[in-house]
Amino acid sequence: MLDFFQSVSDGVLFGATYALIGIGFTLVFGVMHKLNMAYAAASVGGAYAGLLVLKVMSAAPPVLVFLGAFAAGGVLGWLVYLTCFHFIPLSSPLATLMSTVGMLLLIDEIIVHVTEGMPQNYPAMFDDVMLRAGDFTMRGDLLLVFGVAVLCMVALMLLLYRTRLGLATRAVSQQPVAARLCGIRLEQVNATTFIITGLLGGIAGALIGASVGTLSPLLTTPLTVKGLIVTVIGGLGSVPGAIVAGLLVGGFENVLQLYRGVTERDLYVMLLLFVFLTFRPDGIFAPKGGRD
Amino acid sequence: MDFYFGLVQIIGVHTLLGLSAYIVLLTGQVSLAQAGFFAVGAYAAGMLTVLAGWHLVPALGASAVCGAGVACAVGFPALRIKGLMLVIATLAFGEGVRLFFFNFDYQVARGDIKVGPLGGEGFRQIRFFPEHGWTTGEVMLFIWVFVVAAMALLWWFDRSRYGSVLRAVGEDELAAQSVGINLTAVKVSAMTVGGAIAGVGGGIYAHYTTHIEHTSFNILLATFAIAYPIVGGLRNVFGTLLAVIFVQAFLIEGLRFLGDWRNLLFGALIVLAMNLRPSGFLGARRRA
């Protein structure tokens, strides 16, 4: 029984990173009604770019690496917007889907090319801290992951619901035409959304690197799939949904890893998705239907 | 010469894969499950020829039926949702199939060796072509019989009432529904035909590589499948063929002299192609 609670708590803590990736997918979907398949790859790319800080200053504390990943994620987000969305007309949804897939492959290959395919060690913080309650433990680095992720989510919620930029973003996601008539610059809001999700992605990538200990390009595909599953389970376009679903998927997969082993684990996550698609296709927090 | 025959074989199999995504795309649905149907066909045909000792042609028929059956079964729940949700659901299904074969063991002793699928190690010794003494050229011709048949079938669909119905659903679901088209029937039938074509493609693939494993059927293959018709355009089946030749012959083989840089160029060229020609090489058909 203790094993069960232990793996649930570890999984939920790690699930915070899935939640962050899911938020990125969901925000872009909410604003543009497009899928950005390159998002998880860009997040891992941002985390890799954070390692450049260590190249420049080999004694840099991990915080600087995290900040580097944060900034690089934002830049990558903007680049993805420019190459895959800005010049392609809104009326060709297939073209943007394909171009972001192309971008996914490109980022993956750049990573493989630069690192020569070798996994890179990632600096961790508080990995020697361990909270104990009898046999029940909580890893310090996972707690940090969870804490930073929660902080990011709170910041994002404040940004969305307390600032003019957030108001504009929500307006565009509800009624792009009406928003434009009110003088909101659509392109600017779209680009900003990509930068914000990119920043979140960079942090998520760094957190994943820190809690796993290494970064490898093999991370991008599972992260893309998990992020998308989290997005669907939470409800496309719903930020709170993505958070809850991320934690749920994290806990769920860790429990199944305990009972069924690591090779079968992801199979059950797919099954969970299909259960949701069949019985609750709009996700946990389906956004209320718009007027159109 | 065998090298070129081999290349033409690869182009043939990938054309089948692309065509299976093409018919689904005609209805406006993006399915990333084609690699999954391809895997089902590959394992089904391989097991039938190796373990049950069937001839290849009936085995390919069986793999078409398996691919179609699975596609139909996936189609019903998955097509209740549309657009981007479907992309995600089919992506997850494709990964699910791959993970299933990653955990799938079914080995039978044949003489002193064991044959059959073995989880992560894959399925070795699918030696139908060498055992029956087929040359590379003959295998190539055999593959292209199926490719031409699939292209002719889809060409005929496009010319028939069924093709118009498919495109009507793809252009505007609401309008199609309002003239009495049963959306579910159209979408599930397109998915089923696509699944059958992918199943045949997978069956052939298993036999010319002689060794299949779960990693061959990953997301990359699924993206290749939808990339061909999207890059080639949905005007007709030749767009898909053109895109397969562009990707397999030019991007993958033609740029081999670039070494490592080839892979980098691949993603960049897809991004560039989509920016320059958002509706594919041959463009979508516009009716007045």
Q: Do A249 and A229 contact (CB within 8 A), yes or no?
A: yes
**pTM of this prediction?**
0.84
Is any Cβ of chain A less than 8 angstroms from the Cβ of B231? Answer: yes
Chain A: closest CA distance from residue B259 (Å): 11
Strands (E), chain A: 120-121, 130-133, 136-139, 214-215
Delimit the domains of chain B by residue range.
2-218
Delimit the domains of chain A by residue range.
11-218
Separation between Cα atoms, residue B124 and residue A282, nearest integer Å: 42
| Cα radius of gyration (chain B) | 19
Question: What residues of chain A lie within 8 A of the CB of B25, using their CB?
Answer: 94
Instruction: Find the CB nearest A98 among B85, B219, B227.
Output: B227
Span B147-155, mean pLDDT? 94
Q: What digits encode the pLDDT tens for the residues A225-266?
A: 899 889 888 888 888 889 999 999 999 999 988 888 887 888
Instruction: Report the chain A residue with the minimal C-alpha distance to residue B93.
Output: A270
Q: Do B13 and B212 contact (CB within 8 A), yes or no?
A: no
Q: Is the dihedral of CA A32, A33, A36, A39 positive or negative?
A: positive
What Cα–Cα distance (Å) separates residue A146 from each residue in A11, A204, B215, B258?
11, 10, 32, 44
Confidence at residue B78, expressed as pLDDT on a 0 to 100 scale: 67
Q: What digits encode the pLDDT tens for the residues A63-92?
A: 888 899 999 999 999 999 999 888 888 777
Residue of A188, A145, A157, A191 whose CA lies nearest to A9: A145
Confidence at residue B162, expressed as pLDDT on a 0 to 100 scale: 92
Helix (H) or strand (E) holding A93: helix A93-115
- Interface with A, mutate which of B274, B275, B277 (most A CBs under 10 A): B274
Separation between Cα atoms, residue A139 and residue A144, nearest integer Å: 9
Separation between Cα atoms, residue B34 and residue A166, nearest integer Å: 39
Q: What digits encode the pLDDT tens for the residues B213-265?
A: 888 888 888 888 988 888 888 888 898 899 899 888 887 777 777 776 777 77
Separation between Cα atoms, residue B162 and residue B27, nearest integer Å: 11
Q: What digits encode the pLDDT tens for the residues A163-201?
A: 998 899 888 888 888 998 998 998 899 999 999 999 999
Q: Do A27 and A239 contact (CB within 8 A), yes or no?
A: yes
Separation between Cα atoms, residue B46 and residue B60, nearest integer Å: 9
Contact B102 A229 (CB under 8 A): no
Residue of B176, B200, B10 whose CA lies nearest to B82: B176
Q: Do A199 and A56 contact (CB within 8 A), yes or no?
A: no
Chain B: closest CA distance from residue A270 (Å): 6
Helix (H) or strand (E) holding A278: helix A262-279
Contact A225 B219 (CB under 8 A): yes
Question: What residues of chain B lie within 8 A of the CB of A270, using their CB?
Answer: 92-93, 95-96, 99
**DSSP percent split of chain A into helix, strand, coil, nearest 5:** 75, 5, 20
